[in-house]
Amino acid sequence: MAGVFGGGRAWARTGKGALLYQSPGLIESSSHCGKFAIVQGDSHGIKSNPAPCHAIPAPRAYTSISAGTFIVTNIAEMLRIRALATPDTIGLCYLEQRFTWREFYLQAHSLSLELAGVGIGRGDVVAVYLPHSVGQAVALFAVAMRGAVFTLINPMLVAEQIKHQVSDADARAIIGAPNLTRPLAEFFHSENITVVPADPAGIPESGWDPDCDLEQTLSAAIPADVCNYIYTSGSTGLPKGVVVPQRTVLDGARIVSGYLRITPDDHILSILPFSFDYGLNQLMSCVYTGARITLHQFIFPKDLVDLVENEGITGMAVVPPVWAKLLKPGIRKDHSFRRLRYVTSGGGFHPPELLRRVTEFLPDTEIIVMYGLTESFRSTYLPFDQIHHRPGCVGRAVPEVEILVLDERGEPCAPGEKGELVHRGAFVTYGYLNNPQLTAEKFIPLNVGGRDCLPETAVRSGDRVSMDEDGYIYYHGRIDQQIKSSGYRISPDEVAEAVLATPGVALAAAFGLPDEELGEAVHVAYETDSGEPVDSVDIVRHAKASLAAYAIPKHFHFYDKLPLNPNGKVDFGALKRAARDAGTGAN
């Protein structure tokens, strides 16, 4: 096969003939994406409906950071090169602390020596149990310097969830704040897990290694080696560990910082947990570009807006529940947010009404909608100039990624036809730890090389989407969360969007529960700007403007604050349990 990396064409043969496959290089003149084949048993080819492409950059080596050209093979090397390139530049801020990139590196190096002292080496797994802090950032890089694998434990988890994560990951050690690890000391001892105490404030200068040589490479890990395990907060069952290679984290830093135009002059605010891939990418993007990052434990919206204004924050990342808090009356006050260049907003569907309110709140800031999966990090983004022109849209494929929309038979959908989103290209991870059945279900082979060649791996999202003729993706809800009421399939996100049209409703979530007459009844949980419930009659009246009669909510549940999972998203499992326990009812 010729021309795979040259921006030209290559022919890939399948069991049913030749299918055109266009390379992942720069595509400018072509008006249609190439065809592909899903490997299913005897490698039958499938027919493809051509979909528009957009130009994406050709693959390139991991390059420097600001001074010369370096080969970056793992995240520990990325930090070392950053410390060499801009050693005296402030890189990380936490509370009143300010650390240069060199000082940050020295802290991680010192902790890595402690890990070496307890026998941690390449391929070992180390859990990190610290709050969102400089100590947590230091710990994950210290683990990487040993060539080991880190898994971050969210402090919001309960004891049984923590035990599951540590055991499932087969952790040999845990780096943790004593107040967090102490209640589980007996468990760690029984599992022969070494506890390495750590301070959220980091390592004091007296503990730094004075002989540390920044010219010395510490980790021999290559991009294909495992970097970390991210445990997903599924709505049912215990969290599942996603195995993330170094390549995914490095590519994420390079590609995302590219399309967000992050530079060393930026000052990024980090409020999302590093145990969430969205939050971790902010840290890695700053190490890659040399931008400053400030870590903040978000509790009160007033503190957040004051920090954005006073520190001159230029970029930040949020999820929809954060907007519900920021948009409450009186939060903005007289702040101008004059330096806030962009805010990315991830975590799923964004109703047009929410985006309207957000852009009114931040009229001089670019709001960029992001969509991705833990299993493949980042799939699409919606540029700011499109958010009011494409309602329900989650954007188009990020550079070096192609999004496929497939029907139930695995065939490509026509423009506008609903199907499942499948992600191919950059960021694909290695599957689920200790769960081969789920890995086989979600990670599917694509035949792009031809018959008898090894397949490419793509990721099924479980999300129902459609693609327009311009390549933009529209989200229609989770396939496995569709509400089936009176014989109709109902999108929970469409219901939530309709409820948000009710004046005063700040955040809404819809779900279905069994009902003897309807099969499933539509429930809505919501919170308000005022902290007081609204009349359910008003909710129904506004919902009727955009919903069919069968999709109108039947039951309403008011919350002062909707329950969130450890990643800051609405916890649908908790909503359903509470509704079942309370029985059906309004407000």
How does DSSP assign 387-450, residue by residue? TTTSTTEEEEEPTTEEEEEE-TTSPBPPTT--EEEEEEETT----BTT-HHHHHHHEEEEE-S-
> What is the Cα–Cα distance from 507 to 325, expressed in whole angstroms?
9
Residues 425 and 505 reside in one and the same domain: no
pLDDT given at position 237: 58
CB burial readout 416-441, b (16+ within 10 A) else e = eebbbbbbbbbbbbbbbbeeeeebee
Residue 546: pLDDT band (50, 70, 90) is confident
- Work out the average pLDDT over 325-331: 87
* Residue whose structure tokens are 């029907």: 407
Residue 580 has pLDDT above 60, yes or no: yes
User: Which class for 378: exposed (0-12), middle (13-18), buried (19 or more C-beta within 10 A)?
Assistant: buried
Q: In a 3-state reduction of DSSP, which class is residue 355? A: helix
Q: Is residue 569 part of a domain?
A: yes
Measured torsion, CA atoms of residues 280, 281, 287, 293, in degrees rounded to the nearest 10: -70
pLDDT given at position 17: 27
Q: Is residue 551 part of a domain?
A: yes
The CATH number linked to 423 is 2.30.38.10
Q: Dihedral sign for Cα 174, 177, 182, 183, please.
A: negative
> What is the Cα–Cα distance from 293 to 587, expressed in whole angstroms?
42
Tokens for 83?
């410390």
Tokens for 408?
């139930």
Choice between 385 and 586, residue whose per-residue pLDDT is larger: 385
Q: Apex CA 348: angle with CA 343 and CA 353, to 5°? A: 70
Phi and psi angles of residue 115, each rounded to the nearest 5 degrees, phi first: -65, -40
pLDDT given at position 335: 84
Q: Is residue 521 part of a domain?
A: yes
Choice between 33 and 578, residue whose per-residue pLDDT is larger: 578
Residues 404 and 457 reside in one and the same domain: yes
User: Which class for 187: exposed (0-12), middle (13-18), buried (19 or more C-beta within 10 A)?
Assistant: middle
Residues 446 and 494 reside in one and the same domain: no
pLDDT digits (tens, 9 = 90+) for 123-177: 999 999 999 999 999 999 999 999 999 999 999 888 888 999 999 999 999 999 9
Tell me which residue of 484, 546, 469, 552 sits closest to 515, measured CA to CA.
484
pLDDT given at position 490: 83
Side-chain half-sphere CA neighbours of 185 within 13 A: 7
Residue 525 has pLDDT above 50, yes or no: yes
| Residues β-bridged to residue 466 | 474
Tell me which residue of 158, 199, 156, 157 sits closest to 175, measured CA to CA.
199
Domain stop point among 422, 447, 477: 477
Q: How many CB atoms lie within 10 A of CB 368?
A: 21
Domain that holds residue 464: 9-58+391-477
Q: How many CB atoms lie within 10 A of CB 182?
A: 13
Residues 439 and 470 reside in one and the same domain: yes
Reduce the secondary structure of 485-536 to three states and give it as a string: ECCEEECHHHHHHHHCCCCCEEEEEEEEEEECCCEEEEEEEEEECCCCCCCH
Number of structural domains in the chain: 2
Choice between 287 and 233, residue whose per-residue pLDDT is larger: 287
Q: Is residue 41 part of a domain?
A: yes
Q: Is residue 428 part of a domain?
A: yes
Reduce the secondary structure of 63-95 to three states and give it as a string: CCCCCCCCCCCCHHHHHHHHHHHCCCCEEEEEC
* Range of lowest pLDDT (14-23, 63-72, 210-219, 452-461): 14-23
Domain stop point among 477, 500, 535: 477
pLDDT given at position 419: 96
| pTM of the predicted model over 0.75 | yes
* Residue whose structure tokens are 């971790």: 280
Q: Is residue 559 part of a domain?
A: yes
- Work out the average pLDDT over 252-271: 97
Most confident option among 11-15, 281-285, 306-310, 543-547: 281-285
Q: In a 3-state reduction of DSSP, which class is residue 366? A: strand
Residues 397 and 464 reside in one and the same domain: yes
The per-residue pLDDT of the chain, averaged, comes to: 85
The CATH number linked to 533 is 3.30.300.30
- Work out the average pLDDT over 13-40: 31
Q: In a 3-state reduction of DSSP, which class is residue 7? A: coil
Q: Is residue 72 part of a domain?
A: no
* Residue whose structure tokens are 């390079």: 254
> What is the Cα–Cα distance from 363 to 337, expressed in whole angstroms?
10
> What is the Cα–Cα distance from 399 to 405, expressed in whole angstroms?
17
Left (φ > 0), alpha (ψ -120 to 50) or beta: where does 178 sit? alpha
Residue 307 has pLDDT above 80, yes or no: yes
pLDDT given at position 62: 39
Residues 450 and 417 reside in one and the same domain: yes
pLDDT given at position 251: 97
Side-chain half-sphere CA neighbours of 419 within 13 A: 21
pLDDT given at position 166: 98
Domain stop point among 428, 451, 477: 477
Residue 45: pLDDT band (50, 70, 90) is very low
> What is the Cα–Cα distance from 238 to 435, expressed in whole angstroms?
12
Tokens for 361?
């709140």
Choice between 319 and 313, residue whose per-residue pLDDT is larger: 313
Q: Is residue 252 part of a domain?
A: no
Residues 464 and 487 reside in one and the same domain: no
Q: In a 3-state reduction of DSSP, which class is residue 78? A: helix
Residues 468 and 509 reside in one and the same domain: no
| Residues β-bridged to residue 129 | 176
pLDDT given at position 487: 61
- Work out the average pLDDT over 409-421: 95
Residue 294 has pLDDT above 80, yes or no: yes
Residues 401 and 488 reside in one and the same domain: no
Position 143, amino acid: V
pLDDT given at position 584: 56
pLDDT digits (tens, 9 = 90+) for 46-85: 233 333 333 323 333 334 344 446 789 999 999 999 999 9
pLDDT digits (tens, 9 = 90+) for 475-510: 887 787 778 786 667 888 889 989 999 999 999 999
